[in-house]
Amino acid sequence: MQFSFSISELIEICTPIETIGTVHVSITGLASLKHAGPGDLSFLTAKRYRAAVADCNASVVLVPADFDGEPREDQVFLRVANPSRALGRICAQLDRLLWPRPEPGVHPSAVVHETARLGKDVIVGPLVVIEAGAAVGDRSWIEAGAFLGRAVMVGDDCRLGPGCRVLAECAIGNRCLLHPGVVIGSDGFGYDSSAKGHEKLPQVGTVTIGNDVEIGANSTIDRGRFAATSVGDGTKIDNLVQIGHNCVVGRHCILCSQVGLAGSTTLEDFVVAAGQVGFAGHLTVGSGSMLAGRTAIYSDHPAGSKLKGDPPLPLHQAQRVAALMKRLPELFGRVDDLERRALAES
Protein backbone atom coordinates (compact mmCIF):
# COMPACT_ATOMS: atom_id res chain seq x y z
CA MET A 1 0.00 0.00 0.00
CA GLN A 2 1.27 3.44 -0.89
CA PHE A 3 0.53 6.50 1.22
CA SER A 4 2.23 9.46 2.79
CA PHE A 5 1.49 11.46 5.94
CA SER A 6 3.43 14.44 7.20
CA ILE A 7 4.09 14.75 10.94
CA SER A 8 1.68 17.67 11.11
CA GLU A 9 -1.05 15.57 9.46
CA LEU A 10 -0.50 12.79 12.00
CA ILE A 11 -0.72 15.30 14.83
CA GLU A 12 -4.00 16.60 13.45
CA ILE A 13 -5.41 13.09 13.20
CA CYS A 14 -4.21 11.82 16.59
CA THR A 15 -4.48 15.03 18.65
CA PRO A 16 -1.67 13.88 20.98
CA ILE A 17 -1.36 14.98 24.58
CA GLU A 18 2.27 15.82 23.90
CA THR A 19 4.66 15.74 20.94
CA ILE A 20 8.29 14.98 21.78
CA GLY A 21 11.06 15.40 19.23
CA THR A 22 11.33 16.83 15.75
CA VAL A 23 11.82 15.04 12.45
CA HIS A 24 11.13 16.25 8.94
CA VAL A 25 10.11 13.10 7.08
CA SER A 26 6.96 11.72 5.53
CA ILE A 27 5.49 8.60 7.06
CA THR A 28 5.01 6.01 4.32
CA GLY A 29 4.55 2.79 6.29
CA LEU A 30 3.09 1.15 9.39
CA ALA A 31 5.04 -1.54 11.25
CA SER A 32 5.48 -3.23 14.62
CA LEU A 33 8.14 -1.98 17.02
CA LYS A 34 10.41 -4.86 16.05
CA HIS A 35 10.12 -4.47 12.28
CA ALA A 36 9.73 -0.70 11.83
CA GLY A 37 12.35 1.35 10.01
CA PRO A 38 12.90 4.99 8.97
CA GLY A 39 9.75 6.44 7.45
CA ASP A 40 7.50 4.06 9.40
CA LEU A 41 5.01 4.75 12.16
CA SER A 42 4.84 2.27 15.03
CA PHE A 43 2.92 2.08 18.30
CA LEU A 44 3.14 0.78 21.85
CA THR A 45 0.07 -0.75 23.47
CA ALA A 46 0.99 -3.61 25.81
CA LYS A 47 3.32 -2.91 28.75
CA ARG A 48 5.39 -6.02 28.00
CA TYR A 49 6.69 -4.37 24.81
CA ARG A 50 7.93 -1.17 26.46
CA ALA A 51 11.56 -2.26 26.38
CA ALA A 52 11.32 -2.68 22.60
CA VAL A 53 10.74 1.04 22.07
CA ALA A 54 14.40 1.82 22.78
CA ASP A 55 15.49 -0.37 19.84
CA CYS A 56 12.70 0.70 17.49
CA ASN A 57 13.84 2.44 14.28
CA ALA A 58 10.47 3.98 13.42
CA SER A 59 10.39 7.69 12.67
CA VAL A 60 7.19 8.13 14.70
CA VAL A 61 6.01 6.07 17.66
CA LEU A 62 2.61 6.36 19.31
CA VAL A 63 3.12 5.88 23.05
CA PRO A 64 0.72 5.99 26.03
CA ALA A 65 0.48 9.09 28.18
CA ASP A 66 2.45 7.51 31.03
CA PHE A 67 5.42 6.43 28.88
CA ASP A 68 8.54 8.13 30.25
CA GLY A 69 11.12 7.31 27.56
CA GLU A 70 12.71 9.84 25.22
CA PRO A 71 13.00 9.59 21.42
CA ARG A 72 16.26 9.56 19.52
CA GLU A 73 17.29 12.56 17.41
CA ASP A 74 15.65 11.02 14.34
CA GLN A 75 12.38 10.13 16.09
CA VAL A 76 9.16 11.68 17.28
CA PHE A 77 7.06 10.30 20.11
CA LEU A 78 3.37 11.16 20.09
CA ARG A 79 1.97 10.69 23.61
CA VAL A 80 -1.70 9.81 23.26
CA ALA A 81 -4.40 8.64 25.64
CA ASN A 82 -4.87 5.37 23.75
CA PRO A 83 -2.26 4.34 21.12
CA SER A 84 -4.50 1.64 19.65
CA ARG A 85 -7.35 4.08 19.17
CA ALA A 86 -5.01 6.71 17.71
CA LEU A 87 -3.70 4.13 15.26
CA GLY A 88 -7.29 3.28 14.40
CA ARG A 89 -7.93 6.90 13.43
CA ILE A 90 -4.86 6.85 11.19
CA CYS A 91 -6.02 3.61 9.59
CA ALA A 92 -9.46 5.15 9.01
CA GLN A 93 -7.77 7.89 7.00
CA LEU A 94 -5.77 5.23 5.15
CA ASP A 95 -8.95 3.32 4.40
CA ARG A 96 -10.40 6.36 2.66
CA LEU A 97 -7.17 6.92 0.70
CA LEU A 98 -6.59 3.32 -0.37
CA TRP A 99 -10.19 2.41 -1.15
CA PRO A 100 -11.82 5.67 -2.22
CA ARG A 101 -15.59 5.84 -2.41
CA PRO A 102 -16.86 5.78 -6.01
CA GLU A 103 -19.12 8.44 -7.41
CA PRO A 104 -22.82 7.85 -6.65
CA GLY A 105 -24.82 6.07 -9.30
CA VAL A 106 -25.98 2.72 -10.63
CA HIS A 107 -23.53 0.67 -12.69
CA PRO A 108 -24.87 -0.23 -16.16
CA SER A 109 -24.58 -3.96 -15.44
CA ALA A 110 -26.67 -3.77 -12.26
CA VAL A 111 -30.29 -4.98 -12.29
CA VAL A 112 -32.56 -2.77 -10.19
CA HIS A 113 -36.29 -3.49 -10.20
CA GLU A 114 -38.47 -0.56 -11.17
CA THR A 115 -40.24 -0.66 -7.80
CA ALA A 116 -37.02 -0.58 -5.77
CA ARG A 117 -36.22 2.72 -4.06
CA LEU A 118 -32.74 4.19 -3.88
CA GLY A 119 -31.95 7.11 -1.57
CA LYS A 120 -29.68 10.06 -2.23
CA ASP A 121 -26.07 9.47 -3.33
CA VAL A 122 -26.40 5.68 -3.34
CA ILE A 123 -23.71 3.61 -5.07
CA VAL A 124 -24.78 0.41 -6.82
CA GLY A 125 -21.83 -1.56 -8.17
CA PRO A 126 -21.38 -3.94 -11.09
CA LEU A 127 -23.68 -6.98 -11.34
CA VAL A 128 -25.71 -6.03 -8.28
CA VAL A 129 -29.30 -7.31 -8.23
CA ILE A 130 -31.99 -5.41 -6.30
CA GLU A 131 -35.43 -6.99 -6.41
CA ALA A 132 -38.95 -5.62 -6.24
CA GLY A 133 -39.90 -3.40 -3.32
CA ALA A 134 -36.40 -3.21 -1.85
CA ALA A 135 -35.19 0.11 -0.43
CA VAL A 136 -31.66 1.43 0.04
CA GLY A 137 -31.06 4.46 2.28
CA ASP A 138 -29.07 7.60 1.58
CA ARG A 139 -25.34 7.31 0.85
CA SER A 140 -25.29 3.53 1.13
CA TRP A 141 -22.83 1.57 -1.02
CA ILE A 142 -23.79 -1.79 -2.51
CA GLU A 143 -20.65 -3.37 -3.93
CA ALA A 144 -20.16 -5.67 -6.91
CA GLY A 145 -22.22 -8.82 -7.11
CA ALA A 146 -24.37 -8.15 -4.05
CA PHE A 147 -28.00 -9.30 -3.97
CA LEU A 148 -30.93 -7.60 -2.23
CA GLY A 149 -34.08 -9.68 -2.28
CA ARG A 150 -37.72 -8.68 -2.43
CA ALA A 151 -38.74 -5.97 0.07
CA VAL A 152 -35.32 -5.82 1.72
CA MET A 153 -34.66 -2.63 3.69
CA VAL A 154 -31.12 -1.20 3.95
CA GLY A 155 -30.62 1.96 6.03
CA ASP A 156 -28.50 5.07 5.51
CA ASP A 157 -24.68 5.05 5.25
CA CYS A 158 -24.36 1.28 4.97
CA ARG A 159 -21.74 -0.61 3.01
CA LEU A 160 -22.41 -4.10 1.69
CA GLY A 161 -19.26 -5.80 0.42
CA PRO A 162 -18.88 -7.85 -2.75
CA GLY A 163 -21.08 -10.90 -2.93
CA CYS A 164 -23.30 -10.10 0.07
CA ARG A 165 -26.76 -11.66 0.03
CA VAL A 166 -29.66 -10.09 1.89
CA LEU A 167 -32.72 -12.21 1.23
CA ALA A 168 -36.41 -11.33 1.07
CA GLU A 169 -38.05 -9.20 3.76
CA CYS A 170 -34.90 -8.73 5.87
CA ALA A 171 -34.00 -5.32 7.31
CA ILE A 172 -30.62 -3.69 8.00
CA GLY A 173 -30.27 -0.53 10.08
CA ASN A 174 -28.14 2.55 9.56
CA ARG A 175 -24.32 2.67 9.32
CA CYS A 176 -23.92 -1.09 9.03
CA LEU A 177 -20.90 -2.75 7.43
CA LEU A 178 -21.27 -6.20 5.87
CA HIS A 179 -18.03 -7.73 4.65
CA PRO A 180 -17.77 -9.88 1.51
CA GLY A 181 -19.87 -13.01 1.37
CA VAL A 182 -22.23 -12.27 4.26
CA VAL A 183 -25.62 -13.98 3.97
CA ILE A 184 -28.59 -12.48 5.80
CA GLY A 185 -31.88 -14.35 5.80
CA SER A 186 -30.73 -17.77 4.69
CA ASP A 187 -33.25 -20.52 5.44
CA GLY A 188 -33.36 -21.59 9.07
CA PHE A 189 -32.31 -25.18 9.77
CA GLY A 190 -35.56 -26.81 10.86
CA TYR A 191 -36.79 -30.38 10.37
CA ASP A 192 -39.35 -32.72 11.93
CA SER A 193 -37.59 -36.07 12.18
CA SER A 194 -39.21 -39.50 12.32
CA ALA A 195 -38.47 -43.07 11.33
CA LYS A 196 -39.39 -42.12 7.77
CA GLY A 197 -36.77 -39.36 7.57
CA HIS A 198 -36.63 -35.60 7.99
CA GLU A 199 -39.55 -33.41 6.94
CA LYS A 200 -38.57 -29.79 6.27
CA LEU A 201 -40.21 -27.10 8.41
CA PRO A 202 -40.52 -23.95 6.30
CA GLN A 203 -38.84 -20.90 7.80
CA VAL A 204 -41.05 -17.91 7.02
CA GLY A 205 -39.69 -15.31 9.47
CA THR A 206 -37.17 -12.55 8.82
CA VAL A 207 -33.90 -11.07 10.08
CA THR A 208 -33.60 -7.63 11.66
CA ILE A 209 -30.16 -6.01 12.02
CA GLY A 210 -29.84 -2.89 14.21
CA ASN A 211 -27.74 0.25 13.69
CA ASP A 212 -23.91 0.35 13.65
CA VAL A 213 -23.57 -3.42 13.28
CA GLU A 214 -20.52 -4.95 11.57
CA ILE A 215 -20.65 -8.49 10.20
CA GLY A 216 -17.48 -10.28 9.08
CA ALA A 217 -16.81 -12.12 5.84
CA ASN A 218 -18.84 -15.27 5.12
CA SER A 219 -20.89 -15.05 8.29
CA THR A 220 -24.51 -16.18 8.06
CA ILE A 221 -27.66 -15.21 9.93
CA ASP A 222 -30.70 -17.45 9.38
CA ARG A 223 -34.24 -16.15 9.17
CA GLY A 224 -36.64 -17.04 11.96
CA ARG A 225 -39.14 -19.83 11.70
CA PHE A 226 -42.05 -17.39 11.96
CA ALA A 227 -40.66 -14.34 13.82
CA ALA A 228 -37.42 -12.41 13.42
CA THR A 229 -33.86 -13.39 14.15
CA SER A 230 -32.40 -10.13 15.48
CA VAL A 231 -29.04 -8.47 16.12
CA GLY A 232 -28.94 -5.38 18.35
CA ASP A 233 -27.32 -1.99 17.82
CA GLY A 234 -23.55 -1.80 17.90
CA THR A 235 -22.87 -5.54 17.84
CA LYS A 236 -19.68 -6.64 16.06
CA ILE A 237 -19.50 -10.07 14.42
CA ASP A 238 -16.28 -11.63 13.14
CA ASN A 239 -15.77 -13.83 10.06
CA LEU A 240 -17.38 -17.28 9.75
CA VAL A 241 -19.98 -16.86 12.48
CA GLN A 242 -23.29 -18.76 12.28
CA ILE A 243 -26.43 -17.38 13.94
CA GLY A 244 -29.36 -19.77 13.77
CA HIS A 245 -33.08 -19.13 13.40
CA ASN A 246 -34.95 -17.14 16.04
CA CYS A 247 -31.78 -16.12 17.85
CA VAL A 248 -31.73 -12.77 19.64
CA VAL A 249 -28.33 -11.09 19.93
CA GLY A 250 -28.38 -7.97 22.11
CA ARG A 251 -26.67 -4.61 21.84
CA HIS A 252 -22.89 -4.22 21.63
CA CYS A 253 -22.07 -7.92 21.73
CA ILE A 254 -18.78 -9.25 20.36
CA LEU A 255 -18.85 -12.59 18.52
CA CYS A 256 -15.43 -13.79 17.39
CA SER A 257 -14.64 -16.11 14.50
CA GLN A 258 -16.41 -19.48 14.23
CA VAL A 259 -18.88 -18.81 17.03
CA GLY A 260 -22.06 -20.79 16.44
CA LEU A 261 -25.52 -20.07 17.85
CA ALA A 262 -28.09 -22.85 17.53
CA GLY A 263 -31.69 -21.78 17.12
CA SER A 264 -33.49 -19.67 19.74
CA THR A 265 -30.35 -18.67 21.61
CA THR A 266 -30.61 -15.31 23.37
CA LEU A 267 -27.53 -13.25 24.16
CA GLU A 268 -28.28 -10.19 26.23
CA ASP A 269 -26.35 -6.92 25.85
CA PHE A 270 -22.53 -6.71 25.90
CA VAL A 271 -21.91 -10.46 25.78
CA VAL A 272 -18.42 -11.39 24.52
CA ALA A 273 -17.92 -14.81 22.93
CA ALA A 274 -14.35 -15.68 21.91
CA GLY A 275 -13.49 -17.94 18.97
CA GLN A 276 -15.36 -21.21 18.46
CA VAL A 277 -17.76 -20.77 21.36
CA GLY A 278 -20.80 -22.97 20.74
CA PHE A 279 -24.36 -22.42 22.01
CA ALA A 280 -26.70 -25.42 22.17
CA GLY A 281 -29.86 -23.37 21.55
CA HIS A 282 -33.03 -22.47 23.48
CA LEU A 283 -30.99 -20.80 26.20
CA THR A 284 -30.16 -17.32 27.52
CA VAL A 285 -26.78 -15.84 28.45
CA GLY A 286 -27.05 -12.73 30.61
CA SER A 287 -25.69 -9.25 29.95
CA GLY A 288 -21.98 -8.64 30.23
CA SER A 289 -21.03 -12.31 30.20
CA MET A 290 -17.61 -13.31 28.84
CA LEU A 291 -17.01 -16.73 27.31
CA ALA A 292 -13.48 -17.98 26.65
CA GLY A 293 -12.53 -19.61 23.35
CA ARG A 294 -14.07 -23.02 22.59
CA THR A 295 -16.45 -22.86 25.55
CA ALA A 296 -19.60 -24.96 25.10
CA ILE A 297 -22.82 -23.46 26.45
CA TYR A 298 -25.65 -25.92 27.14
CA SER A 299 -27.92 -23.99 29.53
CA ASP A 300 -28.86 -20.55 30.82
CA HIS A 301 -26.23 -18.42 32.58
CA PRO A 302 -26.83 -15.24 34.57
CA ALA A 303 -25.54 -11.75 33.81
CA GLY A 304 -21.82 -11.23 34.34
CA SER A 305 -20.86 -14.88 33.94
CA LYS A 306 -17.22 -15.60 33.06
CA LEU A 307 -16.95 -19.13 31.70
CA LYS A 308 -14.46 -21.45 30.11
CA GLY A 309 -14.41 -25.02 28.90
CA ASP A 310 -16.66 -27.97 28.09
CA PRO A 311 -18.56 -28.39 30.31
CA PRO A 312 -18.29 -24.69 31.14
CA LEU A 313 -16.83 -23.72 34.50
CA PRO A 314 -16.34 -20.32 36.14
CA LEU A 315 -13.16 -18.89 34.66
CA HIS A 316 -10.99 -19.08 37.80
CA GLN A 317 -12.11 -22.64 38.48
CA ALA A 318 -11.43 -23.65 34.87
CA GLN A 319 -7.94 -22.17 35.06
CA ARG A 320 -7.28 -24.07 38.29
CA VAL A 321 -8.47 -27.32 36.71
CA ALA A 322 -6.21 -26.72 33.71
CA ALA A 323 -3.24 -26.19 36.02
CA LEU A 324 -4.03 -29.36 37.98
CA MET A 325 -4.35 -31.44 34.80
CA LYS A 326 -0.64 -30.91 34.16
CA ARG A 327 0.04 -32.70 37.47
CA LEU A 328 -2.17 -35.74 36.74
CA PRO A 329 0.70 -38.04 35.61
CA GLU A 330 2.60 -37.22 38.79
CA LEU A 331 -0.51 -37.73 40.95
CA PHE A 332 -1.35 -41.07 39.29
CA GLY A 333 2.23 -42.17 39.85
CA ARG A 334 1.97 -41.31 43.53
CA VAL A 335 -1.34 -43.19 43.85
CA ASP A 336 0.16 -46.25 42.14
CA ASP A 337 3.12 -46.10 44.52
CA LEU A 338 0.81 -45.89 47.54
CA GLU A 339 -1.20 -48.89 46.30
CA ARG A 340 1.96 -50.94 45.86
CA ARG A 341 3.09 -50.07 49.41
CA ALA A 342 -0.30 -50.89 50.85
CA LEU A 343 -0.36 -54.28 49.13
CA ALA A 344 3.20 -55.05 50.25
CA GLU A 345 2.38 -54.23 53.86
CA SER A 346 -0.78 -56.31 53.79
What is the secondary structure of 136-166 as a DSSP string?
E-TT-EE-TT-EE-TT-EE-TT-EE-TT-EE
- Phi/psi for 3 (5° steps) reads -160, 170
Residue 162, preceding peptide bond in cis (omega within 30° of 0)? no
Reduced to 3 states (helix: H, G, I; strand: E, B; else coil), residue 11 is helix
Contact 285, 279 (CB under 8 A): yes
Q: Is 10 exposed, middle or buried (0-12, 13-18, 19+ CB in 10 A)?
A: buried
Give yes or no: 35 in active site.
Answer: no
Active-site entry in 107, 198, 245, 301: 245
Burial letters 149-161, b for 16+ CB under 10 A, else e? bbbbbbbbbbbbb
Tell me the torsion sign for CA atoms 57, 60, 66, 71. positive
Selection from 159, 152, 191, 197 nearest residue 175 by Cα: 159
Please state, in angstroms and as integers, the Cα–Cα distance from residue 280 to each residue in 63, 70, 75, 228, 285, following that order.
Answer: 43, 53, 53, 19, 11
| Catalytic (active-site) positions | 245
